[in-house]
Amino acid sequence: MAIHEPVPIDLKTVTILREVLEDAWYSLGAEQQAMMSKTVLAERILRSAAKGERDRKRLLAAALNIAA
């Protein structure tokens, strides 16, 4: 398993990550929201961003755990 250096996250990226988190959360139905936490979505987004991902669609896909 390769070890990757974390990618720095600047203020602009933090804004994008917050927006993607909100998009992910509101794309879920009420039943899905009841079974999922925002924390899980945020962790998925942050893991992807830490690897260098900055594309909104791919970050959203990572949050929702679907292929982009």
- Write the DSSP assignment of 12-55 as a string of letters: HHHHHHHHHHHHHHHHS-HHHHHHS-HHHHHHHHHHHHHTT---
Tell me how far apart the alpha carbons of residues 59 and 55 are, in angstroms, rounded to a whole number.
Answer: 6
pLDDT tens column, 8-54: 789 999 999 999 999 999 999 999 999 999 999 999 999 999 999 99
**Rounded distance between C-alpha atoms, residue 48 and residue 52, angstroms:** 7
Query: Does position 6 have pLDDT exceeding 80, yes or no?
Result: no
Looking at residue 67, what is its pLDDT? 60
pTM of the model: 0.84
Question: Looking at residue 1, what is its pLDDT?
Answer: 47
- Gap between the Cα atoms of 62 and 48, Å rounded: 7
The pLDDT value given to residue 16: 97
